[in-house]
Copies of this chain bind each other. A is one copy, B any other.
């Protein structure tokens, strides 16, 4: 199966990401329907031309027609959904997702899934600090990475379908990573940074500080406003890689602190020079 405009695409979960997917695909001329928990999300999506129709019911009628199903749910909700409802899915359908952690999700889904349907995992690295369909916007994809995370169970056809989906959604870059590499990367680049921002905000309570805050502090703690329900789940589902990255960071902070304590200026400068060189690689290109 190739991505094409005759296929029926079903989005499960109309939140920030589900809504943005729906809008992007409908704008491109695809047939998009949705199932989601709340009727007003469906009403909003229909009114804003994001889907043809939607339902709060999960059954043969609302699910059984879909060729491609995109799950935009929290990881544990996603796993439960598949467990309970895969019986409604059409034979030959392809499933994909938006889940931000992979090791604790992908193998579980693939091992419980019926043999005649395929799950190819993907992680759209896009988001906002706000949630819900009313904040959805396909523009969040244009600067972002879309990572396809195949396993040995996936067919080339499904991997390519998923890559095409990322392209059609308008992502800046579509790549592939294996499960372990994906989770390590996410632990370092995304989860550790959120742990740092949260810990920093927890470490001082002084309202007067606001008056002296510059851009460095604001930029560093922007992500400290955090959806605690979603992120606590993501942290726990990626626990081992995350703990490893936190400890790597702790070691280096300890090393820097020790150098400061011991007036070891050369060691401080050495770390700063390494930091400067490495950070330059991360400057946005053109």
A77 at the interface (CB under 8 A from B): no
Instruction: Name the interface residues of A178-219: CB closer than 8 Å to any CB of B.
Output: 185, 188-190, 192-205, 207, 209-219
Check A217/B190 contact, CB under 8 A, given A201-B279, A210-B281, A225-B275. Answer: yes
Interchain CB contact under 8 A, A211 and B275: no
Residues of B within 8 A of A269 (CB): 228-229, 232
Q: At the interface, yes or no: A222 with Cβ under 8 Å from chain B? A: yes
Q: Taking the complex as formed, is A156 at the interface, i.e. its CB lies under 8 A from any CB of chain B?
A: no
A3 in the interface (beta carbon within 8 A): no
Q: List CB contacts (< 8 Å) of A90-148 with chain B.
A: 125, 143-145, 147
Other-chain residue from B125, B199, B224 in contact with A253 (beta carbon distance below 8 A): B199
Which residues of B lie under 8 Å from residue A38 when comparing CB positions? none
Tell me whether A48 is interfacial, beta carbon within 8 Å. Answer: no
Known A228-B276, A236-B260; contact A145-B211, beta-carbon cutoff 8 A: yes
Residue A79 at the B interface, CB < 8 A?
Answer: no
Q: Are B236 and A199 in contact (CB under 8 A)?
A: no
Partner of A145, one of B193, B214, B248, B280: B214
Interface of A is mostly: helix
Question: What CA separation (Å) do A26 and B248 show in the bound complex?
Answer: 50
- Which of B145, B233, B255 is the one whose CB lies under 8 Å from A212? B145
Is A1 part of the binding interface, using a Cβ–Cβ cutoff of 8 Å?
A: no
* A21 within 8 Å of B (CB atoms): no
Indicate if the CB atoms of A185 and B212 lie closer than 8 Å: yes
Given contacts A189-B213, A202-B271, A256-B195, contact A280 B225 (CB under 8 A): yes
Q: Chain A residues in contact with chain B, CB under 8 A?
A: 125, 143-145, 147, 173, 175, 177, 185, 188-190, 192-205, 207, 209-226, 228-229, 231-233, 235-236, 239, 242-243, 245-257, 260-261, 263, 265, 268-269, 271-276, 278-282, 284
A-B contact pairs, 15 of them (CB 8 A): A177-B212, A198-B256, A199-B252, A201-B279, A202-B271, A210-B282, A216-B222, A218-B284, A224-B276, A225-B279, A232-B272, A233-B265, A235-B268, A246-B256, A246-B260
A188-B204, A195-B253 are known; give 19 further A-B pairs, CB within 8 A. A125-B212, A144-B214, A145-B211, A173-B211, A177-B212, A189-B209, A201-B274, A201-B275, A203-B249, A207-B281, A216-B223, A229-B269, A232-B268, A233-B265, A236-B260, A243-B260, A246-B253, A246-B256, A250-B253
